Amino acid sequence: MDTKRWKVDKFVGKLVDYPQVKEAAQLLRQNEVVAFPTETVYGLGGNAENDKAVEKIFQAKGRPSDNPLIIHIAHKEQLSDFVEKVPEKALLLMDAFWPGPLTIIFQKKDGALSEKASAGLKTVAVRIPDHPLALAVLEACGLPIAAPSANKSGRPSPTKGEHVLEDLDGKVSGILDGGPTGVGVESTVIDCTEEVPVILRPGGITKEQIEAVVGSVRLDAALTDQTSAPRSPGMKYQHYAPDAPLFLVNGSKKFFDELIREKRQEGLRVGVLTTAEQVGAYDADVVLACGKREELETVATALYQSLRTFNEKKVDIIFSEMFPNEGVGQAIMNRLEKAAGHRVIVE
């Protein structure tokens, strides 16, 4: 299949009437799959009401069919088409964070969406993205759109149109290229079907921000349990992985240096993931500054681009610093742990 790539300035007025947006929306209505940018990463969209469209998403990505998809909508009013009810705490979160990088899980109406989109679950994950191009194509097609990240399953998520093309050229009908995304890591996923909301995936909205709106929430145990069926995208399987094996290092600078030296003596090409503050401190083959440690939001923004850069540099092994497991650091560590297959070298 020929993959069309439309470069669109997200600052253009009345994007919903833009010819490229209309063409992408028409393909979605024809149950084809189209990639588009959100404020987090690029999504691969398909009609959430149609089994064949959803199957095309899984096929293009090589994604396991028991991994549920997030439904993207343009307006809160669309929820009534496929959601049983909107709990009070969900309403508070919607008012506070929609449009934005927060996905909320609701009880699903029977038969309202493709069962394949929710992987057979009785619940459905929904968000309104905070990106003008995403909102324009959602408005233009008028459909609930299932959209996981627009990458080959398991690889680092795409934060640029080039990343989507690299992974999915010839496998999707089109790519709406709106330039680099902003947040860099996927949305936070929170289950509001229980009395105390449960964070199933940390992301662009922090636990602290959520608790400021609805009070106490908890983290789901399945974030570390790899044996349970996933209730949210990103809870199961290795994700975000670069080509070379990635190891998180928990230890002193001296210990880190010894690991690098040992692997280089074995003839391996070694990569190190660090931040701007320490980029000159490591004697490795490839040292990448992934944002600033003092501004963890910049680490989140640069994370997937850094992991893809290691692929381009053809390293044999990657050692990564670890980050504080709080605030947006929780999302960064969640992605790094999955990219490393939970491999941590402890001093």
Mean pLDDT, to the nearest integer, of 71-80?
97
Mean pLDDT of all residues in 49-74: 94
- Letter for the amino acid at 243? D
- The rounded distance, in Å, linking the Cα atoms of 149 and 41 is 7
pLDDT of 227 reads: 46
72 is in an annotated binding site: yes
Q: Is 88 exposed, middle or buried (0-12, 13-18, 19+ CB in 10 A)?
A: exposed
Does 293 show up as a binding residue in the annotation? Answer: no
Mean pLDDT value of segment 62-88: 94
CB atoms within 10 A of CB 60: 25
Torsion of CA 283, 289, 293, 298, to 10 degrees: -170
Which CATH fold would you assign to the domain 246-346?
Answer: Rossmann fold (3.40.50)
Q: Which of 63-77, 93-107, 212-226 has the lowest mean pLDDT?
A: 212-226
Query: Is 53 part of any known ligand binding site?
Result: no
**Annotation-wise, does 18 bind a ligand?**
no
Residue 233's pLDDT band (boundaries 50, 70, 90)? low
Taking the C-alpha atoms of residue 223 and residue 226, their distance in angstroms, rounded to an integer, is 8
pLDDT at 284 over 70: yes
What residue has token string 């469209």?
A: 53
pLDDT of residue 63: 86
What pLDDT, on the 0 to 100 scale, is given for residue 237?
Answer: 53
Q: How confident is the model at residue 323 (pLDDT cuts 50, 70, 90)?
A: very high
Confirm whether residue 65 is marked as ligand binding: no
**Summary mean pLDDT of the chain:** 94
Mean pLDDT over 302-325 rounds to 97
Q: How far lies 111's CA from each of 48, 64, 71, 123, 174, in Å? A: 12, 22, 15, 12, 29
pLDDT at 38: 98
- Is 252 among the annotated ligand-binding positions? no
The 10s digit of each residue's pLDDT in 247-282 is: 999 999 999 999 999 999 999 999 999 999 999 999
Reported pTM: 0.93
147: annotated binding-site residue?
yes
- Is 320 annotated among the ligand-binding residues? no
> Annotation-wise, does 149 bind a ligand?
yes
127 known member of a binding site: yes
CA 45, CA 32: separation in Å to the nearest integer?
A: 9
Query: Does 40 show up as a binding residue in the annotation?
Result: yes
Decide if pLDDT at 231 tops 70. no
Domain ranges of the chain: 4-223, 246-346
Overall fold of domain 4-223: DHBP synthase (3.90.870)
Annotated binding residue 123:
yes
